[in-house]
Structure 1
């Protein structure tokens, strides 16, 4: 039976993937966005009802949740997460929304050194008081990091992860998980799902997989955490974001991001993308940036 679903952060990676999956399955999707732009226009063209609002604006979120059966909450690594979670929960209860799927992170815990990770843990505990069903998702690092942190001028990944390991998960696979839970929330009530890609690798092995797929050398260059922080600051990233990334780098080295499981396959019926498949899916990005550097 078609459902009416709210996707917050709908122009982001997981929100856009969840929206596309739900629309493909015949559901009605209301997409909450901050502004109209090309990404929002594409959502509308695909069939989503696009509404503009901020997760800190209770009136806007109340309007966005009216008539909604289930909602997806995601929030960027920036201050304000706990207020956003509380605002969505209050609006959802006022409008009798039955379920919330919350995007948290694998490093979320009470004693996390990262301010953002600790706030994710607190937001989870706030949402646990929701009158409907709640499901928390805790992904390891996204495969999209391989795009964000690939240095196109040197074809290097300069990251502070030493030889620790994780199984990168693509946002499109997370979107399929989100959609599956929103379609049938009850079996997932109260669950916390760690989300992983299919194969656990260190970054030397990730670079080798990228090299095989792209047909040109990609190299992982381990760097120190202080050097990583300095590079982030040089790029003008906000202190909250820098503090988070440097703190989770320590977590990563300590194995917090490691592991694999079968959650993606179990909930969606399909295996998550391997690193090779993800790189192939995004080959146009890597090839386009490589060619732009050639005379």
Structure 2
């Protein structure tokens, strides 16, 4: 049996059954954050198209549950550079899907992954960044992503950056669904609008890029939804889809922050309050055709997204 220092690249069902077994193998494409939505859906898209790809996860067990049993996995931790070096062995294209959490942790995660990829001399690295990247942005995570983009450009690697707009999933799950019971969504975004894009569409765009990375070398794509919507429009659409009366009521930043402190752990009160300010300043309302250019079809409109989500949840409860 190979030593634990060897590289792991085995089907997920093997990892669940034999978590201590490490097998040597080479995989052309490695997707980090494979247990998350974007990572897992990117892997699924690559698998459907027959591309050799593996997912990187931190642990086995429940974190593997969302992946196909046939998905090859490599185990590594962003905080452990040695594990990253092992995971990147034999990989020619890396999709670095950013994690979340404390900004200082993310800064280190990005730095460790990019340094490990550069030391392994990966031929290409694709990074999921954010559209709100300007130096004067108030958003909590903007400096983190600006740093990662700088490191990529200075790494000597062939790179592609996917700057993602605000996720439709985040708007729905974090803000709209919790407001359904009260009938009022209250955020300090004033009249700010967004062009939300689903994580599914981002995953399909990412799969298209890592499948032919040299065609996209040195390019930065802004991935947005097809339509700019106000929060009044989004709450109306979601209320109709879920069968609830729902309205949007702007609030002050101080009121929102006080409420967030009572409901969330750090860093999320600060992160979401600064995100709202960024939305108010119009930093998420841009519309691009990059997703359609990469995938061959337009991204899902937010109204359709919430209708499909509501229909799926209703079907699941019956």
Question: How high is the TM-score relative to the length of structure 1?
Answer: 0.89
Residue 118 (str. 1) matches residue 146 (str. 2): no
1:184 is aligned to: 212
State yes or no: 1:281 paired with 2:308.
yes
- Alpha-carbon shift at residue 112 of structure 1 (Å): 3.1
Distance 1:281 1:25 in 2: 25
- What is the alpha-carbon distance in structure 1 between the residues aligned to residue 118 and residue 52 of structure 2? 20
Which of residues 63, 77, 84 in structure 2 aligns to 1:61?
Answer: 84
1:56-97 Cα distance to aligned partner (Å, 9 max, x none) = 211111111111111111121422223222221222123332
User: Cα RMSD over matched residues?
Assistant: 2.2
> More deviation in 8-17 or 257-266?
8-17
Per the alignment, in what secondary structure is the counterpart of residue 182 of structure 1?
A: helix
Contact 2:138 2:277 in 1 (8 A): no
Q: Which residue of 2 is the match for residue 102 of structure 1?
A: 127
Between 160-169 and 264-273, the greater mean CA deviation after superposition: 160-169
Larger deviation: 36-45 or 226-235? 36-45
Within 5 Å, which residues of 2 pair with 1:73-152?
Answer: 73=96, 74-78=98-102, 79-144=104-169, 145-149=171-175, 150-151=177-178, 152=180
Alignment of 1:4 with 2:31, yes or no, is no
The offset of 1:287, in angstroms, is: 4.1
Q: Verify the 8 A CA contact 2:224 2:286 in the aligned structure 1.
A: yes
Query: Residue 51 of structure 1 corresponds to which residue in structure 2?
Result: 74
- 1:167 match: 195
CA distance in 2, matches of 1:226, 1:199: 30
What secondary structure is seen at the aligned counterpart in 2 of 1:159? coil
Alpha-carbon separation, structure 1, partners of 2:314 and 2:244? 10
- 2:16 paired residue number: none
Bigger Cα Rg: 2
For residues 215 and 275 of structure 1, the distance between their equivalents in structure 2, rounded to whole angstroms, comes to 16
Question: For this pair of structures, how many residues does the alignment match?
Answer: 287
Give the structure 1 partner of residue 54 of structure 2. 30
CA 1:35/1:116 → structure 2, altered by over 3 Å: closer, same or farther? same
For residue 23 of structure 2, what is the aligned residue in structure 1? none
How far off is 1:126 after superposition?
Answer: 0.8
Alpha-carbon distance, 1:221 to partner: 2.6
1:49, distance to aligned residue in structure 2 (A): 1.5
Moved more, 73-82 or 189-198: 73-82
Change in Cα spacing, 1:42 to 1:280, as seen in structure 2 (3 Å) is same
Distance 2:188 2:210 in 1: 36
Normalising to structure 2: TM-score of the pair?
A: 0.83
* Alpha-carbon distance in 1 for matches of 2:224, 2:236: 20
Which stretch of structure 1 is more off in the superposition, 265-274 or 147-156? Answer: 147-156
- Aligned partner of 2:181 in structure 1 is 153
Check the 8 A contact 2:34/2:56 in 1, yes or no.
yes
Tell me which residue corresponds to 1:218: 246
Q: How much has 1:286 moved relative to structure 2?
A: 5.6
| Partner Cα separation in structure 2 for residue 233 and residue 287 of structure 1 | 32
Distance 1:48 1:228 in 2: 42
Q: Deviations over 1:172-207 (max 9, x none)?
A: 000011111101112222222211111111011112
